[in-house]
Structure 1
Amino acid sequence: MHGEEEIPVYSASEIAATVLDFLTFLTTLHCHPGDLVMPPPGGWPSYTPEKCAGFKSDFAIEVLRNLPHLGSRASDHMDSLGQIHYKSHLLDYTTFDSERFTDQEYLWSGGEESEGEESVPDHVFIFAKGFESGGRTLFLDAQEGKIFEEEIRCDSSEEDLKEYFEDLKEKYRNLDLIPCPGEGMIEVSATGVGPEGLGETLSEEEVLMQADPLWGTHLDIRYTRQLYRAFGWPNAFRRDEAFREMKKLIEKRKSY
């Protein structure tokens, strides 16, 4: 008999709805609405019993089969417009291919091979892959309804998946996570930038006169926040207009 503890915390449809809510939110900011795709009725068709035999638990497969997906128009792997978190790309799970999951043991343990009971449970799968130091690899625990966040070469944490995605949305709203066209995602809390000065407006000239030629300084961050908010961030963000201005600024910064 299956014990009561084996009943999933959230149904597959609840998990899919939570993911859809988060991905839809991103399409109001730096991601393009046309890149959001929904699985067909019955789920992504390549998740057949034959292909998935022995891969993950039946419930984890059901969740994967029915997750919405958000593609990317960013051609550069480092371009934050194709990222869902700091140095983190959504796994393409729309077509089942076990090779996409072959490094899960390595990623799950934060860079060291797992052994025995430390291996990835069969109800847990990679949702997004991080890269480089500080990048975020996200694992979704279908059974427990949690997100495990592995920060490369740093710490790991776990949180209820609904709370996790709400917290992540808040980081975007507050511009602690800042996507920049053609550049990597900025995680402000990791840069040491202090509170923004109330009523202080930064001019483009001040940004361009910096001695540091590399993009991502404290002044760059302050000005980007200021510019995005001027273009309606987060509730009515005029993405195309804002990103046009950002691209001009970044080009000027690099050639000044």
Structure 2
Amino acid sequence: MCCPNFPIRIIQPIDNVDDEADANPESDYDCESDFEPPYTPTELVAIITGFYTFLTTLHFSADDLKLPPASGWPSIPSLCAFKSERAMEVLHQLPYFKDTTPAQLHYKSTVIDYTSLPSSFYDAERDDYIDEDDEFHDYEGRLVDRRNLICFAQGRESGGRQLYLDVLTGEVTEDIIRCDLLSPVDVVAYFEALKEEYRSLRLVPCTGREIIEAQKVDEGGDVGREEVLAEKGDFGTDTDVCWVRSVYRRHGWPDAFQQEDADKEINEVMEEMDVGERGKGKDLFWWRWRGC
């Protein structure tokens, strides 16, 4: 399935919001008639579908991607107390990766399968994926209505990424757990940047392990197993990162990635390290994070 090429939209500011709306602490978007959303729900679904399809060419299994029936997911209601109708329309039509999918979307971050949630989730008064004490703002600094927010990837532990889509403003907000809530970014721009992080292997996924954040690791050319095994100290050096990149590229990354072959080569070297001096710190490497 291919996704249309959507241009990055420029969000127009809200004008003439009355004093009563300004005083409402819930949102600065109470007068939505003065705001034209940059993307329709159908367009948002197509954008996310395109990104998820891209992931299936890398480290996500295409068999784990579930596409909705024409009428939408029957397990997701059309109305919910803590979500806007627009948000529910998007949730109703989105594709989802199975909740058993081992692959991660970002560092310590897994995609949420809203079709697998019990009915009690939708019957509740609040969204379990959004902390009621958190405040979210759009790119212009306006307080947004959390009913328009969809958490599509759940982070865990320090540095994990919790990702939110605002279905009204068409922006993605990235929350680095226990570190920083980043400024929102246009949804097309966000996913295009994330695609490039993967293509360039500044984000390095690996089956059964945490994603490596390697934005600060320079390209080191082709690195072989002998160089990795000859490294001194605990596993997790820049040379080690370059070796993983080299393995992936030798196996077709990013356009024709042979994941099983790459995993086999990496695991063979890891097993060899288990009986050598470099085994110490091997597991910690896969939790490597250079954030904050």
Q: TM-score range by the shorter chain?
A: 0.7 to 0.9
Name the residue aligned to 2:44.
15
Name the residue aligned to 1:224.
244
Q: Could you report, residue by residue, the CA deviation over 1:83-129 in whole angstroms, capped at 9, with x for unpaired residues?
A: 0111111112124534793241268459xxxxxx9786211121111
May I ask how many residue pairs the two structures share in their alignment?
235
Offset, 1:217: 2.6
Taking structure 1 as reference, are residues 125 and 188 closer, same or farther at Cα in structure 2, changes over 3 Å only?
A: same
Aligned match for 2:90, one of 50, 63, 76:
63
Name the residue aligned to 1:202.
223
Contact 1:213 1:254 in 2 (8 A): no
Would you identify which runs of 4 or more consecutive aligned residues in structure 1 move more than 4 Å? Answer: 106-110, 117-120
Q: Distance in 2 between matches of 1:33 and 1:134?
A: 27
Please provide the CA RMSD for this pair: 2.5
Aligned match for 2:103, one of 63, 70, 82:
82
Contact 2:224 2:246 in 1 (8 A): no
Offset, 1:131: 1.2
The amino acid across from 2:271 in the alignment is E
Query: Is the aligned partner of 1:180 residue 2:202?
Result: no
Name the residue aligned to 1:242.
262
The amino acid across from 1:138 in the alignment is L
Task: Answer with 1 or 2: which has the greater Rg.
Answer: 2
Q: Could you report, residue by residue, the CA deviation over 1:113-171 in whole angstroms, capped at 9, with x for unpaired residues?
A: xxxx9786211121111112211100110011110111112222210111101110000
Query: Is the aligned partner of 1:54 residue 2:63?
Result: no
Question: Matches of residues 91-170 of structure 1 in structure 2 within 5 Å?
Answer: 91-96=112-117, 97-98=121-122, 101-105=127-131, 108=134, 121-155=146-180, 156-170=182-196
Contact 1:105 1:120 in 2 (8 A): no
Query: Is the aligned partner of 1:36 residue 2:65?
Result: yes
Q: Distance in 1 between matches of 2:256 and 2:166?
A: 33
Q: Distance in 2 between matches of 1:135 and 1:119?
A: 23
Offset, 1:30: 0.6
Contact 2:222 2:242 in 1 (8 A): no
Name the residue aligned to 1:114.
none
Name the residue aligned to 1:212.
233
Tell me, which stretches of 5 or more residues in structure 2 are unaligned? 1-30, 137-141, 277-292
**Larger deviation: 98-107 or 39-48?**
98-107
Taking structure 1 as reference, are residues 95 and 180 closer, same or farther at Cα in structure 2, changes over 3 Å only?
A: closer
| SS class of match (2:210) | coil
Identity of matched residues, %: 40
Contact 1:87 1:185 in 2 (8 A): yes
Taking structure 1 as reference, are residues 203 and 53 closer, same or farther at Cα in structure 2, changes over 3 Å only?
A: closer
Q: Greater RCO between the two (CA within 8 Å, min separation 6)?
A: 1
Q: Distance in 2 between matches of 1:154 and 1:232?
A: 35
Q: Distance in 2 between matches of 1:71 and 1:133?
A: 25
TM-score normalised by the chain length of structure 2: 0.73
